[in-house]
Amino acid sequence: MDCWTCERTAVGACRFCGRGTCRDHAKTYPFLVDVFRGRTHETLRALVVEDALHCGVCRPRGEPVELPELE
Ligand SMILES: [Zn+2]
Ligand SMILES: [Zn+2]
C-alpha cells in the first residue's frame, strides 16, 4: 500500500477511510470507538481514541451520525 498523498510506501491506513499514509502525511484525529449507555446515568457515553491515524485527506464527521436501527 502506498501513501495516498505522495505515493511513497505507507506506514499505516487511515482509521476513517482506509487510505494508506506515510509518516510525513499521517495525522491524528479523535476516533469514536464505542458508544454505550452508562449504568448509573441514563446518558450515552462515548469511548474515543484521541490520536487515531488519519490520512489528512478525508473529513471525518465532527458529530456522530444517528444510528436509529440500533435503538
Ligand atoms: Zn505521503
Ligand atoms: Zn482518511
Q: What is the pLDDT of residue 57?
A: 93
Cα 43 to ligand 2 centroid, rounded to whole Å: 30
Domain range list for the chain: 1-58
Dihedral sign computed on CA atoms, order 20, 25, 26, 32: negative
Ranges of beta strands (E only) in the chain are 12-13, 20-21, 27-37, 44-54
C-alpha cell at 32: 469514536
Contact 26, 57 (CB under 8 A): no
Exposed/middle/buried for 10, CB within 10 Å: 0-12, 13-18, 19+? buried
The confidence score (pLDDT) of residue 64 equals: 66
Q: What is the pLDDT along the chain (71 residues), one digit of tens a residue?
A: 999 999 999 999 999 999 999 999 999 999 988 888 877 767 888 888 999 999 999 988 766 667 777 65
pLDDT (0 to 100) of residue 44:
82
The ligand minimizing its distance to the Cα of 2 is 1
Predicted TM-score (pTM) of this structure: 0.71
Per-chain residues with Cβ under 5 A from ion ligand 1: 3, 5-6, 22, 25
Q: How far is the CA of 21 from the centre of ligand 1 (A)?
A: 6
Q: How high is the pLDDT of residue 70?
A: 65
